[in-house]
Amino acid sequence: MKVMSRVLVAAALGVAGTLAVPVAAQAAPTGCSVNLQHKTARASCTGGSGQVRAMIACIVLKPGDPVETTNAGGWVNPGLTSSATCGGGSQVTDYWYETRN
């Protein structure tokens, strides 16, 4: 019986040990901004360790139903710039940025 209880205690400690492993904290990007130049949204952040990307919403006014699209720039690290563009005959309806850790 003693052997069985030692095995159970060792197993419980092993599980508790894996659950208590510290994980490095990641800071969200800081100092982020987005601006619009012509039909291109540009987003960047000045600090933190996450990433940012530009987002832009576009609409093409065609006969019948208008076509709406949302375009995303690539994810970039702080200090770099992400760009998203509305092409062709589209018009910008909104622009913003997204971040991730």
DSSP string covering the chain: -HHHHHHHHHHHHHHHHHHT------PPPBS-EEEEETTEEEEE-SBSSSEEEEEEEEEE--SSS-EEEEEEPPPB-TTSEEEEE--TT-EEEEEEEEEE-
Residues forming a β-bridge with 37? 40
Model confidence pLDDT, tens digit, residues 80-96: 999 999 998 899 999 99
Q: Give residue 34's Cα distance to chain centre.
A: 14
> How much is the pTM?
0.72
Residues forming a β-bridge with 95? 56
As a whole number of angstroms, the distance between CA 11 and CA 2 comes to 14
Q: Which pLDDT value is given to residue 95?
A: 98
Q: Which pLDDT value is given to residue 22?
A: 54
Q: Which residues of the chain have pLDDT under 50?
A: 1-13, 15, 17-18, 23
